[in-house]
Amino acid sequence: MRTPIDAPIHAPMDAPVLPAAAPRESFAELAAEAGPDPLPRIRATLRGDVLAVGLAGEFDHYTCAPLHRLLADGAARGARRLVLDAARVTFCDSALLVVLDRWVRAGGRVEVAAGSRAVRVLIELAARLPLPPGGGFRP
């Protein structure tokens, strides 16, 4: 039997076998073809009272829960100022605003150091809304 294992079952035994696709040069090429990664990723650094957080991927009701826990832990360790780098966020909805609002209502300050288009649109829309009673996050 000269037929490769991955040949279709209905292929005749003497059918020519097509060469496999050329291997990619690097992982970066594969990633570029796949498009933006939707998996949420969070990086954080705490120095004094400043919590620097970098976000990448998609953030919605379900994926904001780890961010909320991280901010609560940062606040418990003395963080009062949040510096947010959200330049690599590909999607976000009001759940991100809810997390930021909770931070502000607990006495913290928020600085958005960088924001992707999705984050900028969300913040611009939030800025048009009236501030809820009792204060909260104001972009």
User: What whole-number distance in Å separates Cα of residue 112 and Cα of residue 51?
Assistant: 12
pLDDT tens digits for range 105-115:
889 999 989 98
**Mean per-residue pLDDT, 108-127:** 90
Tokens of 116: 């992707």
Exposed (0-12), middle (13-18) or buried (19+): which is 76, by Cβ within 10 Å? Answer: exposed
Q: At a CB cut-off of 8 Å and minimum separation 6, what does 34 contact?
A: none
Residue 38 has a pLDDT of 74
8 pLDDT higher than 60: no
H or E element in which residue 127 lies: helix 117-128
User: Does 114 fall in a domain?
Assistant: yes
User: What whole-number distance in Å separates Cα of residue 40 and Cα of residue 91?
Assistant: 10
User: Does 9 fall in a domain?
Assistant: no
Q: Are 108 and 135 in contact (CB under 8 A)?
A: no
C-alpha distances in angstroms, 84 versus 9, 41, 44, 117, 133? 54, 13, 9, 14, 25
Q: What are residue 51's DSSP bridge partners?
A: 46, 82
User: Does 13 fall in a domain?
Assistant: no
Q: Which domain holds residue 46?
A: 37-128
**Mean per-residue pLDDT, 13-32:** 57
User: Does 89 fall in a domain?
Assistant: yes
User: Does 16 fall in a domain?
Assistant: no
What three-state secondary structure class fits 38?
coil
User: What whole-number distance in Å separates Cα of residue 85 and Cα of residue 134?
Assistant: 27
Which residue type, as a one-letter code, is found at position 57? G
User: Does 3 fall in a domain?
Assistant: no
User: Does 136 fall in a domain?
Assistant: no
Give the total number of structural domains in the chain. Answer: 1
With bands split at pLDDT 50, 70 and 90, how would you rate the model's confidence at 7?
very low
> Which CATH number belongs to the domain containing residue 124 in this structure?
3.30.750.24
**Mean per-residue pLDDT, 19-33:** 58
